[in-house]
Structure formats: structure tokens, C-alpha cells
A and B are shown apart, each in its own frame.
Chain A
Amino acid sequence: MKNPWPPIIDRRHTPFVVRLRDVLLSALAWAVLIYFLLPVVKLTWAGALVLIGIEERLPAPQLRLFLTELRPFLMLVAVFALWLTAFAALRYQRLSVGRWGQDEPAPLSAEEELRQWGYSESTRLALREAKSTVLSTDDDGRIIDVESRALPADTSEALKF
């Protein structure tokens, strides 16, 4: 059996009418968004005219928004940028010196696990060895009983891998 990867379920099986509706609605939504963006489009256009030398400078009203009204927010963004850059620089430095001179943490020992979960070594082994197990737990989710279970000897059909 083929295994297409990545396993994306696309719109191939979606009815044409639904696909058409989605495209039209989304195009309409884009139109609304672009409506909000008209001043930016105008500013970009004016900037292009300045760049190619047709106009001498940008019109003042569009620039005012960015230079005056947005100033407090842009300053906040600048503070954020400084904060993140400091963290990134610190991180880069720590990464560049390798593993920070520390050893891998020790794996959790059997004693620690038994102490944590409060059952016997035989229960722990049963949990880890059986191919199929039935567990009973109390209301707090603690395992109170472990019962190994036989797997079906014969599976009716091979799974489609």
C-alpha cells in the first residue's frame, strides 16, 4: 500500500460548488482587507514615484500616521526587540560553548520510580514486560492491579501498512 507523505487530506474530494464558494468568499474577504490597506497602497505608490524621480517627496498626511500616532507602539516594539535580542545573544553565547559543561542528567532509577508510584518491583516488571496488560487504577490514577493478558493467536487479516 502506498504511504503518501506528507499525509495531507486536501480538497480533491470536496464538491466543486463548495470549493467555488470558499474561493469567492475568501476573495471577498481579501477585498475587505485590501480596503483597509488603501492608504498603504497609496503610500507605496507615492514612494515608487519618489524612487523613480517623478515626485520629490512623500505626501505628509500618510507619513504622519507612522511618525506620530504609531510612535508609542513602535517604541514598545523597540523595547521588545532589545529584550529579545539580549536573550538571543545570551543563548547564542551559551550554545557556542557547547554543552555548558554539564553532564546528562541521570536517568530515573528503579528505586525512585517505586518510591513515586508505591508498588512492588514485580508489578513494575509486569508493567514493562507483558505485551498486553490490563491495569486497574484508583481515583487518583494510581495503578492498583496489573494483569497480563494473552494476545489473540490469530489475526483475521494483515493490517495495511
Chain B
Amino acid sequence: MNWDLFHELLGLFCFGYPFAMAYYWMIGALLYRLVRERHQPLPSTLPVLDAYPPVSVVVPCFNEERQLEETFAALTRINYPDYEIIAINDGSRDGTQVKLDQLATQIPQLRVLHLAQNRGKSTALNCGAQAARHELLVCIDGDTLLDPNAVAWMVRRFQSDPQIGGLAGNPRIRNRSSIVGLLQVGEFCGTVGLIRRAQNVYGTLFTVSGAICAFRKRALQEAGWWDPAALTDDVDVSWRVQLAGWNIEFVPKAMAWILTPETLRGLWRQRLRWSEGGSDVVLRALPHLFSRRGLRVWPIWLNYVAAILWSYAILLLIAIGIVDFVSVGFNVELEGIGLIPGNWGMALATTYLLQMLVAALLDARLERHMLRTQFWVVWYPLAYWVLQAASAAVGIVRAALHFNRRAGTWVSPDRGFQ
């Protein structure tokens, strides 16, 4: 193949995909703000609802002994008149069982299910849903601190549209004591927040966040509930709920505070799992794409495939750039191929800064000092893209190799420096 043409195509794609998508997300997020958020009360305000249907809060736990007091203390402070809490101990090996029983004696709304064997998060969620007395389920992780107004904001959105089968809440990063933690604050605001808003505008979300989401039981029933074989339960159930004809929407004001990895190793493992799980869902969705309901997932399916191709392209570009750089004296020359195309690097950097600014301004209503945290997100395009690209490239291979996996498993996450 002609090197010049190859170089040109590679460069165009490596530049064009993040450039065009950044503006797509920004425009989508601004439209979401105009259409959905403009006339809404402030996030700190407790919304007034037409009615207050009872809600079940489902909390699957695996080896969460250290986190439980904080998690359930936050759940006792929910500003909602009628709710129950169901904790599912999925065969934990630490003191989770004792701690949950102790909590159940002190929190009247709490009931505890102990699974005799460790079965994975999806099974734990299915058991919690079966024990739930109410139609609306709010699901959080065992180390998630739910905002007191989050349940009310979610019920408000359910009431606005009977076609909504699931809701994605807004996870916010708690641990901000290292660069890795701090730049995830920018990522969740500047990338995840923008993407979810944009996807909400055209009506199909790639995924809810497992750390904070809500579902109607009827939607889960029609979607087939959580799949014990899914590696990332949240991505899998989101696609199946939408393929069953229900809508999933993003509720930025339904916030929950989460712990994230603060080491590169922990971050890599987390991203690899997300990537493998996402790729697995995208591969499994292939037969459904040509059904009537499958048409709606085409935009997110194509975007995911483009993201995977981009990951390979950017890694290839970097590898070629390195070979070109070190080849002096080895008689290997790849004329004209560099790491970042000159002026285009500038256009990308400008776009990136604009994206972060738009995201910070949109999120300024949700959390104070968002602009200040943008100082740290400079790492995102310089180093983080490479990590993301590498995890996506490896994730698709692992997903293809493990396609017939029997059951998903829990991964005890790196919860940062506390």
C-alpha cells in the first residue's frame, strides 16, 4: 500500500473521529440543557411530585465491610416518604454478613438477603429485585453514597413519561486526592456527562451507570432481567431494556458519590473490564440490529465500533511515530508519518478545551468549583487517551475470546486512597 495514502487515511481518522464527536457531544449536551434542564429547579431543591409511589433501593454487596456504614447512613437520609432498602450480600468473605445484620437491627427500612454462594452482581440484583415489594427499583453499589434528593429526581422523571423503563443517574467522583482521581472528575463531567446528555437527545443511551440507576420492574421483565453471564451488567441490561422497546433517560440531578481507582493499575483493570463488557454487549447485539426495535441502537452501535477502530488507529499511529523517531541510523524511514499532524493537533487541543469548558459550565449547577477541577484534566488527551485506546483494543479481543463465558464475576475494585 502507498505509504502516503495510508498515512493520510490514518491521520484523517485519528483526527477526525475525536474532533467530530467532540462537537457532536457538545451540541447534544447544549440541546439537552435547552430542552430538558432549562426550566427545572436547582439540583439542591427537592422536587415536588404529583404522587410519591413507593420505591425499593437495591444494594448488592461483595466484600464491602469497610464501606457499609457510610453507604447505609446515606440511605437513611433519603428525602423521600416511602422507600425500602434491600441489601444483598453475595457470598462475601469478609465481615459484610455480620455488619449487614447489625445494620438491619438499626435501620427499619432495611432487609438483608445473604446468598449462600458467591454468584456475581447480576444474580445479586435479580435476587434483590425479587425481594423488592415495589415496582420502581433504584440500584446502587455497596460503596455508593446516594444523594438525599436522588430518588425524588428519578421518580419525577419516571412520572414524566410512561415509556421510560430505566434511568441513568449521575455518578460523581468522591476521591480526589491524586491526579488519577482528579482527572476522572473531569472525565465524568467532560466526557461521560456530555455523551449521556447527547445520547439522551436522540433517545438511546449506551449504558446506565451500575453505581446509580433505576428501573421499572415491568421493563426488566420484558428485557429478561439481569443476565448472570454479562461481564458488565449495566451495559448489558441497558441494551436489552431498550431493545425491548423501553426508553432509558439520563437524570443529571440524580447524583451519587462513588469511589474510583487511584492507581494506574487499578484504572487499567477497571477500563479493561468496561471495555471487554461493552464489546461483549456490542457483539451480542449484532443479530438484533436488523429488527424493528434494533434500529434505534444503530447510532450507539456504530459509534462504539468507530471508537474501537479509532483505538487501533491511534495505537498504530503512535507505534509508527515511535519507529520513525528511533529509526535514525537504522535505515528505516517512514517519511511524513509523525505522532500528531501539526495544525490538526492544534485544532484537536482547541476542541478539547472547548469541550471541557462546556462540560464544566453545564455541571457548575450540580457541583461547585467544577471549573477549578479542570486544571487536572490536561492529562486526559495527553496520557489518558492512550490508556483508553489500549484497553479498548485489548477489550474487544478478550470479549471475542470469552464469548461463551458462563457467568460474570465480581471484581473487587481499587477504591483509591482514603
Contacts and interface: CB of A to CB of B under 8 A. Distances in A.
Nearest to A91: B35
A22 B16 contact: no
Interface in A1-46: 3, 5-11, 13-14, 18, 22, 25-26, 29-30, 32-33, 36-40
B217 to A, nearest CB: 4
Contacts of B19: 73
A84 interface: yes
Given A7-B257, A151-B105, A116 B221 contact: yes
B375 interface: yes
Contacts of A30: 375, 378
Interface string A99-113: 110111111100011
A143 B128 CA distance: 11
B177 interface: yes
B179 A105 contact: no
B101 A152 contact: yes
B411 interface: no
Given A73-B19, A76-B20, A159-B73, A33 B349 contact: yes
B381 interface: yes
A3 B117 CA distance: 35
B131 interface: yes
A52 interface: no
B160 A99 contact: yes
A51 interface: no
B24 A159 contact: no
Contact of A84 (B36, B202, B225, B340): B202
B116 interface: yes
Given A159-B106, A160-B73, A26 B201 contact: no
A133 B216 CA distance: 24
B24 A137 contact: no
A9 B416 contact: yes
Interface of B is mostly: helix
B343 to A, nearest CB: 5
B318 interface: no
B350 A134 contact: no
A7 B177 CA distance: 13
A8 B20 CA distance: 34
A25 B416 CA distance: 20
B418 A128 contact: no
A133 B349 contact: no
A14 B182 CA distance: 13
Interface in A102-159: 102-108, 112-113, 116-117, 124, 127-128, 130-137, 139-141, 143, 149, 151-152, 155, 158-159
A88 interface: yes
Contacts of A73: 15-16, 19-20
Nearest to B16: A73
Interface in B78-114: 98, 100-106, 111-114
A87 B179 contact: no
Interface of A: 3, 5-11, 13-14, 18, 22, 25-26, 29-30, 32-33, 36-40, 65, 69-70, 72-73, 76-77, 80-81, 83-85, 87-88, 91-92, 95, 99-100, 102-108, 112-113, 116-117, 124, 127-128, 130-137, 139-141, 143, 149, 151-152, 155, 158-161
